[in-house]
């Protein structure tokens, strides 16, 4: 989920399955966006720079790279317009990336209109329920990126303790679970409490720059990098490599999470 906006051009694509939200595409200037059953933008792509992350929430979701900048396997639950898939293909070319989406029309539209990476050994799209698909993994994926929205709200099945347990089992020892939630959702705090319970407190909240979205990260093991000075130094190096505002991420982590003068507490 992200921002609302008015667009001079809209293209509507009817859902293939009646109970799934209608898929729409809009364009404003050089930005193409995907919508699911509402004006809310789910994903956006810069037609001139397809690999760049347009929306602040998608950039915040990549904040996990502060702790693991060379993931070998990434599982995405929720394809949307493929923003994360394009970024991973460009900036993490050695990573195997699997994107799972339950909605066949989303997959069809993303393939047709959003310049997805070539599918093959390093990128694959699976049409499936992500809450079920994650169960096949056992300690073998380095990052799980979840962005599930049904057109009205965050998908309930992607916020349960059972789902979080399955994701925890799927992660490699240094793996991280990242989900995009909206802080204005009245259920938000209960989601966070469930995640804290499953991951034994190893949870961080990284607010995006706008619109109330939060990238919530949960770690299989406590991260070793917690000193503010070390995080800032690493953020400076990461900005050059990935073109994301990692320094701002560190500042927002400090504002939002428990810490001391010298350390992030997790």
Catalytic residues: 147
Give phi and psi for 156, each to the nearest 5: -60, -40
How far, in Å, CA of 15 to CA of 24, rounded?
Answer: 9
Residues in the annotated binding site for S-methyl-5'-thioadenosine = 101, 129-130
Q: Which two tokens stand for residue 62?
A: 């990549």
Rounded Cα distance between 50 and 248, Å, is 23
Structure-token pair, residue 198: 């499953």
Numbered residues of the known binding site? 101, 129-130
Q: 15 and 22 in contact (C-beta within 8 Å)?
A: yes
């Amino acid at each position: 989920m992200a921002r609302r906006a008015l667009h001079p051009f809209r293209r509507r694509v009817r859902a293939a399955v009646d109970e799934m939200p209608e898929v729409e595409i809009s364009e404003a200037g050089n930005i193409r966006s995907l919508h699911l059953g509402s004006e809310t933008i789910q994903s956006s792509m810069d037609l001139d720079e397809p690999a760049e992350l347009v929306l602040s929430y998608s950039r915040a979701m990549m904040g996990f790279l502060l702790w693991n900048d060379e993931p070998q396997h990434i599982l995405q639950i929720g394809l949307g317009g493929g923003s994360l898939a394009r970024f991973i293909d460009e900036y993490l070319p050695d990573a195997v990336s699997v994107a799972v989406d339950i909605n066949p029309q989303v997959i069809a539209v993303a393939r047709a209109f959003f310049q997805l990476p070539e599918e093959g050994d390093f990128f694959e799209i699976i049409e499936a329920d992500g809450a079920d698909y994650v169960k096949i993994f056992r300690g073998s994926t380095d990052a799980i990126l979840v962005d599930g929205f049904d057109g009205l709200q965050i998908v309930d099945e992607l916020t349960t303790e059972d789902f979080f347990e399955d994701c925890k089992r799927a992660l490699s020892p240094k793996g991280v679970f990242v989900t995009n939630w909206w802080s204005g959702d009245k259920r938000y705090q209960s989601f966070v409490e469930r995640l804290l319970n499953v991951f034994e407190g190893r949870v961080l909240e990284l607010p995006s720059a706008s619109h109330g979205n939060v990238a919530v990260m949960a770690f299989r093991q406590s991260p070793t990098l917690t000193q503010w000075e070390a995080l800032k130094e690493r953020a400076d190096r990461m900005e050059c490599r990935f073109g994301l505002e990692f320094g701002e991420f560190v500042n927002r982590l400090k504002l939002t999470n428990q810490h001391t003068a010298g350390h992030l507490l997790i």
